[in-house]
Structure 1
Amino acid sequence: MLKILVADDHDLVREGVKNTLTELDSELILLEADSVASVLQQLPEHEDIDAILLDLGLPDASQFSGLLAIKQQLPDVPVAILSAHDDEESVRGALEAGADGYIPKSGSKKVMLHALRLMLDGEVYLPSLLLHSQPLTAAPVAPADTDVRRDTVTGLTRRQLEVLDLIAQGLSNKEIARQLYCTEGTIKAHVTAILKTLGVSSRAKAVVAVREL
């Protein structure tokens, strides 16, 4: 049984999200809030919550203040931004502030369900607009025996850069393993090494950090 909180100040948006999310779990418990204050008030009673969908335009929030307040109270609960703003600056800002995903409201029902499934599996969903810039792997994929060669800027191996590219495309560990013809355990090891090398705590921040480099 999933418990998800949707924070949006528009009743129709919350109702639409609820109808979509019932496909994830027929016994879904959906909590609703129309302000950051309402979210914070409910969290102590629902520490077993599985995920939060947070609108950036709540009336009592400024930029990412609501996200920061929620993550401070429950840092281990995945929070995805659900926003009408789908520009790259907003996405990057949200990820740097600690969001575990970013779902544009203009996205399809399929996109939202895919994003939530990734988040519930402990992964991150990044919208495709982050791929508009040059891919992380600027050079062709290196053969396996040259995988130990490192990028001179990031300190990551070419294989790790491949993994980051696929994370940015919204693929899960299992999907990445299938595409790169290796085990899921190998991908998890790559992700751990990527986070350590870049000095970040999440996949989302890793993608943002390496693109800035």
Structure 2
Amino acid sequence: MERVLIADDHPMVRDGLRTVIAVAFDRCELFEASSLEEATSVIEREGDFDLVLLDLNMPGATGFSGLIELRERFPSVPVVIVSAAQERGLARAALAAGAAGFVPKSLRRSAIVDALKQVLAGNIYAPEIEEGELAANAEDTEILRRIDSLTPQQKVVLRLVVAGKLNKQIAYDLDVSMTTVKAHVSAILSKLKVFSRTQAVILVNKVNFGAS
């Protein structure tokens, strides 16, 4: 049985998606949320979901901030952006920010069902992206997956590394020992699968990690 959370501040949109999913999937437990805070509470209360359908702009979120927050707090939960906005490059940006797919609200019901089935099967869905772009986004998704594997403290250290700070400066800023900083940097390089700080910076800059 799939467990799906529909997070959208418009009741009619939630009703429409609920109907589409209920008809297409015989056994599916559906939950709803009308704000990012409510969505977060539902995931914390109910545990893992097979899929979260997230509106791009809703109370508590602007742009990709809601997506980024959910990806950081619940890295194992696939999040699909469902949006009325269709600006060129928006889907690619959503995937780069960690979305498992981008579904325009203007799609036919059958196309929405196909998109959700692809994501549930472990694939990435975005209708506007060409194959070459999709390959680039697959690389971005892998980079984000590696970043997600870092602990919160390791992410803090990585941001300082990206900012050009030396180990002794990081130790001073975080009020920890040099040994601790070196241990964090070593773990970061290992999880990112790179061999130097420079490689780490180049890698994470591809997904604008330092700016997020």
TM-score, normalisation: structure 1: 0.62
Partner SS, residue 53 of structure 1: strand
Structure 1 match to 2:115:
115
Deviation string, structure 1 residues 145-204 (Cα, Å, up to 9, x no partner): xxxxxxxxxxxxxxxx9x949xx9xxxxxxxxxxxxxxxxxxxxxxxxx859x96357xx
Change in Cα spacing, 1:114 to 1:60, as seen in structure 2 (3 Å) is: same
Partner SS, residue 53 of structure 2: strand
Q: Which runs of 5+ in 2 are unaligned?
A: 146-205, 207-212
2:143 to 200, 206, 210: 200
What is the distance in 1 between the residues matched to 2:124 and 2:115?
7
Aligned length: 146
In the alignment, is residue 8 of structure 1 matched against residue 3 of structure 2?
Answer: no
Partner SS, residue 117 of structure 2: helix
Structure 2 match to 1:64:
64
Deviation string, structure 1 residues 20-62 (Cα, Å, up to 9, x no partner): 0013322321110010000111111222311000001102211
Cα pair 2:64 2:94 within 8 Å, conserved: yes
Give, in angstroms, the shift of residue 79 of structure 1. 0.6
In the alignment, is residue 130 of structure 1 matched against residue 129 of structure 2?
Answer: yes
Partner SS, residue 30 of structure 1: strand
Deviation string, structure 1 residues 131-153 (Cα, Å, up to 9, x no partner): 3xxx63xxxxxxxxxxxxxxxxx
Structure 1 match to 2:38:
38
Over 3 Å off, 4+ runs: 198-202
Change in Cα spacing, 1:199 to 1:14, as seen in structure 2 (3 Å) is: closer
Give, in angstroms, the shift of residue 15 of structure 1. 0.4
What is the distance in 2 between the residues matched to 1:76 and 1:88?
28
Give, in angstroms, the shift of residue 94 of structure 1. 1.1
Give, in angstroms, the shift of residue 69 of structure 1. 0.8
Structure 2 match to 1:96:
96
Structure 1 match to 2:21:
21
Which structure is larger by alpha-carbon Rg, 1 or 2?
Answer: 2
- Whose helix fraction is larger, Structure 1's or Structure 2's? 2
CA RMSD of aligned residues (A): 2.6
Partner SS, residue 70 of structure 1: helix
Cα pair 1:6 1:14 within 8 Å, conserved: yes
Q: Which runs of 5+ in 1 are unaligned?
A: 137-160, 169-193, 203-208
What is the distance in 1 between the residues matched to 2:47 and 2:76?
10
Cα pair 1:6 1:33 within 8 Å, conserved: yes
What is the distance in 2 between the residues matched to 1:71 and 1:24?
26
Cα pair 2:54 2:81 within 8 Å, conserved: yes
Cα pair 2:98 2:144 within 8 Å, conserved: no
TM-score, normalisation: structure 2: 0.62
